[in-house]
Chain A
């Protein structure tokens, strides 16, 4: 048993770090400040094939494995969680096609996404259905060769800039009224109105949108999987991408920890660097322990997904909840170590603290993750 990353992955990490230092680091604070999607950085991520990472090679991707993705995302998130959401969003929006799409659907949608020419998004959440996915109200009714989709999706990351959306809605049988939760690959067009939700606490520059489907007609051949497969697909997607949320959280935590360590070395009070005070040392030690534990749990979860281990869903839930809680803890303590400066926008830990919070909420709140984990222990019926 060896807990070190392979040389290949270490090399990838270094490559991503070079890219991030050159392209992202100089823009990280600005992206947060301006709250605008960084198209220039998206282009750089496409050019260097970071956006190709979620996709299998036969569709123009670099392999589609989760562990390398997690490593790349972690490295980006150390500097900017907002930028890390660009590749993770591209993954989240496309997994349903990769997992449930037919060969024809994959050929149609994936190469454009792998090259970064097109963007995608994942439309699951609704105003009245967040954690309670089954309570979704959007509908799809088959009419000839098309489904007519109606409903509202809320909090959809990159919903405004995406070209392709994987959307969940309940197919209603016109005769029996039976409803079957299903998944569709939707190309933007008539019948879809998009509104930007502004003023988030963090992950600025990652537009979150509300989507209004008003009798939107979607060709029958855009159904992913069979009618009724929607819930299963939605959960399978999240089993994969939760490790990427975890990776983002570790990156944020590591970024804040690195900053705090440097600060503790340099900041002098009472005639000595504050890093000499035990109170600060205890904090740094706790921050390091939580970050490292989160990192290894995330790598295990990612590796389990790549190896198709039967308990991969539980591990991605554990990694997501643990790592995002760790990121919240670490960034809070980082601010404390920086004192008043930590609370100021002049220093990056304040941004990291705001960016950490969302990791505990999206792709299933940490309460929901804990339910998943507990049920895996207690068995059916709980």
Chain B
């Protein structure tokens, strides 16, 4: 079983708002001098892949990212937790890419690699688009399972545990398929060990070139919303009066 896990490098979502800037004609967030990390649901997908590999003799995990050379850092992180291979689909990003374009590139990589199972996070931690996984399934013509928290080898094929609003459902399917992974206490990405971490820097990152297919949606403009904060102290002798005044004020402001 060839497991391909799609990993996206994003600006650290913990970045304080004051350090968030736009560049390149105000069309992309500035990435220089700010920490870049592996998108968090992608970490869950990677962990699901690693756990499945441990249960299936001969299975391999290939980490794939679409992006510039710097994006290889997320692949190295995957190598540090012992992904077998790392592949970058080169793409210089000068603007936000639509989910369709990225899905097309990943589908190209999946075909080239001969992947049987493709795992991705349910949405990227930067744009929260939530499109790539299922469009990718569509591109490949494979079934796609959503909100997967874990995958086990079953008697016939694969058993997928998926999250529902209240509880979960269990799906059975055969490869090839795409699983879109969400976070769960069972799929928190493991932390690497020292030797594997150091060795990851020396491992090879392969490249697969795929021509991007034009998406139908393009980014027209981008801006950081300006938030104004005004502080007002609600007068009142006691709690009752203050609550009353607050209520009136909220009505005035049309908050209620």
Binding site for B on A (CB under 8 A): 7-8, 11-12, 15, 18-19, 22, 47-50, 52-53, 62-63, 68, 72
A235, B105: Cα distance in complex, Å: 59
CB < 8 Å neighbour of B198 from A8, A19, A22, A47: A8
Known contacts A7-B201, A18-B192, A62-B195; 16 further A-B pairs (Cβ under 8 A): A8-B198, A11-B76, A11-B200, A11-B201, A12-B197, A18-B191, A22-B191, A48-B191, A48-B193, A48-B194, A49-B193, A52-B195, A62-B194, A62-B198, A68-B194, A68-B198
Interface-central residue, A11, A47, A63, by most chain B CB under 10 Å = A11
A52 engages B194 (CB within 8 Å): yes
Asked if B80 CB lies within 8 Å of chain A CBs, one says yes
A148, B40: Cα distance in complex, Å: 59
CB-defined A-B contacts under 8 Å, sample of 16: A7-B201, A11-B200, A12-B194, A15-B191, A15-B192, A15-B194, A15-B197, A19-B191, A48-B191, A49-B194, A49-B195, A50-B194, A62-B194, A62-B195, A62-B198, A68-B198
Scoring B residues 195 to 214 as 1 if CB is less than 8 Å from chain A, else 0, what string do you get?
10110111000000000000
Binding site for A on B (CB under 8 A): 76, 80, 191-195, 197-198, 200-202
Chain A, Cβ-Cβ closest to B198? A8
Interface-central residue, B193, B194, B197, B200, by most chain A CB under 10 Å = B194
Write out the residue numbers on chain B whose beta carbons fall within 8 Å of the beta carbon of A22: 191
A18, B77: Cα distance in complex, Å: 12
**What distance in Å separates the Cβ of A43 from its nearest Cβ neighbour in chain B?**
13
Q: How many A-B residue pairs have CB under 8 A?
A: 41
> Looking at chain A's contact residues, is the secondary structure mostly helix, strand, loop, or mixed?
helix
> Looking at chain B's contact residues, is the secondary structure mostly helix, strand, loop, or mixed?
helix
What 3 A-B pairs come out closest when comparing CB atoms? A49-B194, A8-B201, A49-B193
Write out the residue numbers on chain A whose beta carbons fall within 8 Å of the beta carbon of B195: 49, 52, 62
A63, B198: Cα distance in complex, Å: 10
A53 engages B191 (CB within 8 Å): no
A68, B195: Cα distance in complex, Å: 11
A50, B195: Cα distance in complex, Å: 9
A15, B80: Cα distance in complex, Å: 9
Write out the residue numbers on chain B whose beta carbons fall within 8 Å of the beta carbon of A47: 193
**What distance in Å separates the Cβ of B252 from its nearest Cβ neighbour in chain A?**
27
Write out the residue numbers on chain A whose beta carbons fall within 8 Å of the beta carbon of B197: 11-12, 15
Write out the residue numbers on chain A whose beta carbons fall within 8 Å of the beta carbon of B191: 15, 18-19, 22, 48
**What distance in Å separates the Cβ of A60 from its nearest Cβ neighbour in chain B?**
10
Chain B, Cβ-Cβ closest to A18? B191
Write out the residue numbers on chain A whose beta carbons fall within 8 Å of the beta carbon of B200: 11
Chain B, Cβ-Cβ closest to A8? B201
B194 engages A11 (CB within 8 Å): no
Write out the residue numbers on chain B whose beta carbons fall within 8 Å of the beta carbon of A11: 76, 80, 197-198, 200-201
